[in-house]
Amino acid sequence: MTALRSLLFVALFYLWSALLAVGAAPICLLGPRRWTMEMMRLWAKGIIALLAVVCSVRVEIRGREHIPAGAAVLAPKHQCMFDVFAQFAVLPDACFVMKKELMWIPFFSWYAIKAKMIVVDRDGHAAALRKLVKDSQERFAQARQVMIAPEGTRMAPGAPPDYKPGIAALYREIDVPVHPVATNAGVHWPKHGFLRKPGTIVFEYLEPIQPGLKRAEFMRTLQERLETASTALLPL
C-alpha cells in the first residue's frame, strides 16, 4: 500500500509542478520577483497537502518563535529535497544557496534566476566563497533569509556530520544571526527512491547563534545544536 500511494504521490507531484511551472511562467517570469515567490509558496503548500492526503505524511513546524522575519542565515539539516521545498511555505522571503549544476534544469533554473537564488560553483573554492558572501550581502539588504546547508549536500538521517566552510565564511563576514533548523525529513522522504513513509516530518527552528563567536566556537556550537536536535527527532 505504501508503494502504491508513493507512486501516486510522485505522479501528482510532477503533474502539480509542471502545471504550475508552465502555467505561471508568463506571469511570474515577466512580473516582479514577489510574484515568483508567491508562486513558490503556493507550490510548496500544494506539495505539503499532497503528502498529507496521499501518503499520510504530515508536516509539523516547531520553534516558530525563532523563525526570522528579516535578514538572517538559516543552517538547515539537509536530508532530502523536500526540506528545501517546504521552506517556501514557512519563511517570509527565502533565498537558497544552490549548486550551479541545477541551473541546467529547464523552468527550475528560470525560476531560480527570477527569484534571485544564490548559485555557487562548489569547485570554485576561495572565489566561490567570495561570491557567496557578496551575493548574501545583497540579499540581506533586501531583508531575505539565506539558507545554506552546513554539509553542502543531502545526508541520510543519522549519518556522521560533515560540515563545510561556507557557513563559517558567512558567519565571519556578515553581522547577522545564524538559525539552525533541525529535521527528520529524510525518514519519510528518503534521499533516494520513491517511497514516502507515513508519519510526521518535523522542522524545528532552533535558537539563533548570535554574531561574535570565533570560527571554531561557532562551528562547534552549530554542529552540537543541529545534530542533537535532529537526532532527537529520529525514531528510536
pLDDT tens track for 215-232: 999 999 999 999 999 999
Distance CA 76, CA 199 (A): 20
Q: What is the pTM of this model?
A: 0.92
Strand ranges of the sheet holding 199-205, from the earlier edge strand across to the other edge: 57-62, 199-205, 178-183, 72-76, 145-147, 94-99, 118-120
Listed in sequence order, the DSSP H helices in 76-214 are: 82-85, 108-114, 126-141, 166-173, 185-188
Among the four given CATH numbers 1.20.120, 3.40.1130, 1.10.150, 3.40.50, the one describing domain 2-232? 3.40.1130
What's the Cα-to-Cα distance from 219 to each of 7, 115, 183, 224, rounded to whole Å? Answer: 40, 29, 19, 8
Residues 6+ apart with CB under 8 A from 131: 120, 124
Give the tens place of pLDDT for each residue, 13-28: 999 999 999 998 888 8
